[in-house]
A and B are shown apart, each in its own frame.
Chain A
Amino acid sequence: MSCAVHAVELRYVYPNGHAALDGIELHVDHGERVAVLGPNGAGKTTFMLHLNGLLTGSGSLEVAGVDVGPKTLTELRRRVGVVFQDPDDQLFMPTVAEDVAFGPMNMQLDPNEVRMRVAEGLAAVRMEHAAERAPYQLSMGERRRVAIATVLAMRPSLLVLDEPSANLDPRARRELLDVLERVERTMLITTHDLPLAAELCERAVILAAGRVVADGPCRDILGDPELLALHDLELPAGFDLDGVPTRPSGTRAAPA
């Protein structure tokens, strides 16, 4: 059976000699929600770019049932949706609807199907009302949700989010959590926002200096203050991990 992510000895060295990934080992099954935690510079974003074939390192990497390589890029990008950290990087079309249609149209779907996907993507993030607006007219939280819609419209089997709660005020962050909570997809979320990880993900891995240094149930990882401190992570003062509703692991159906 195929899996969502299977990385073995994945290494990537930037042209300046910095080894951002130094032998990543990670296996994620369909239906899991995994938080990828780690301090700045740990290699989280570099790893995320590998999942969509935007960077290719050495070692072996299988994502969403596809062996990542130059011949499989088109299929890979259909199956893996990446939501980038800065929505301004992701939203470049004149209107929200055109932007959400960009991915489905690159998949050469017919226009009616594309319109349906646009409506579906915007509905999933509750942004139907903004279809004809320009991205620069939206708030940061709205832009972030539209960025997620642009990817959901492609119906990926794996959703990868890079720092989804960065620069959001508490209300926008709560809305984002509600939206993500209802998305039935395998998810990989890179974040420093540990409470967000606790709410959304049943599993967490810690990345440090380009390696996976901890992997386990989110609750165990976040409940280990020494481990967190060792990797420059910290729960907010007074945060009660037991107050977060428990998330049963691996129960989500894997969409085709």
Chain B
Amino acid sequence: MGALCNHSLELTGLAGDPASPVHRLDPRAKILGLVAITIVAVSTPLEAWPVYACCAGVLAAVAVAARVPPGAIWRRVRFLLPIVLAAGVFLPFVRHGGGQYELGPLTVHEEGLRTFAAVSAKAAIGTVSAVLLAATTTFPAVLRGLEAMRVPRLLVLIAAFMYRYLFVIVEETGRMRAALAARAYHPRTALQAGPIGRMATVMFLRTYARGERVYSAMLARGYTGQMPYLTPLVLRRSDLAFVALVLLALVPLRLGMGVAA
């Protein structure tokens, strides 16, 4: 279990060539550019396939420039996309219009299928954008970018501590599970889930106590509520060029497609 968790945590790390021009961009530029792609895809009318194709093209270009192999993207998308698609999976059955196809006891509607395809395209573009951002930017860098973009400091700090202590909590959970298993705890039915609930309680209390200790340790080193950074973020010409290129590739086409239904 511990090994599995660590493996899935590694999937959140960098991929591709860390020295690539995309990896070296300012995190703010990458956040802006990739969020712009997502916004363009999501806000586009359902049938605007040229826009989706263009978004996909830009994403592919970013992936190539960052030398992120398709396999690495697929491994990460595979975890995220099913969750995103689950929301749209009922559309072909409930959205009426166009031709009908009998599928056993269910009826599939053509209009619903079209909608589902478009929603899937939007979801895939959004997911790949997020995956590319994560593959080319370390999590702490994303957080610094967000902080510099005036995302509330408290939210950024919470995310930073979650990231830092995720590993500690995963390790602790692994040890507790091992301790349960060592005393022959192998739950088979929901009725036997009690110890897992108590384990969650213990984890909560431990985490709470750790939070207090971490805060003490921060105060002990003179923390006053401001997170200090050694190197300031600087927007260079390449950062601006990246954002401009993404916008130039997508926005004119998107504007030509009108307003989302």
A residues in contact (CB < 8 Å) with B: 49, 52, 54, 74, 77-78, 81-82, 84, 86, 88-90, 92-95, 98, 101-103, 105-107, 111, 114-115, 135-136, 150-151, 154
Contacts and interface: CB of A to CB of B under 8 A. Distances in A.
A106 B214 CA distance: 16
A30 B163 CA distance: 40
B210 A106 contact: no
Contacts of B210: 88-89
12 contacts: A54-B219, A77-B219, A81-B220, A88-B168, A92-B214, A92-B218, A94-B139, A94-B164, A102-B228, A105-B228, A107-B222, A136-B167
* Interface range for B: 20 to 34
A105 B219 contact: no
B230 A101 contact: yes
Contacts of A84: 213, 216-217, 220
A160 to B, nearest CB: 9
A98 B221 CA distance: 13
B2 interface: no
Given A111-B231, A154-B221, 6 more contacts: A49-B216, A54-B219, A74-B222, A89-B214, A89-B216, A92-B214
B138 interface: yes
A115 B230 contact: yes
B213 A86 contact: yes
Contacts of B230: 98, 101, 105, 111, 114-115
Interface string B20-48: 00000000000000000000000000000
Contacts of B220: 52, 54, 77, 81-82, 84
A52 B222 CA distance: 10
B161 interface: yes
Contacts of A93: 164
Contacts of A88: 165, 168, 210
A78 to B, nearest CB: 7
A111 B168 CA distance: 30
A102 B214 contact: no
B221 A150 contact: yes
Nearest to B139: A94
Contacts of A77: 219-222
Contacts of A150: 221
B140 interface: yes
Contacts of A136: 164, 167-168
A102 B216 contact: no
Given A49-B216, A89-B213, A92-B164, A106 B138 contact: no
A256 to B, nearest CB: 18
B168 A78 contact: no
Contacts of A92: 161, 164-165, 214, 217-218
A190 to B, nearest CB: 15
B74 interface: no
B223 interface: yes
Contacts of B228: 101-102, 105-106
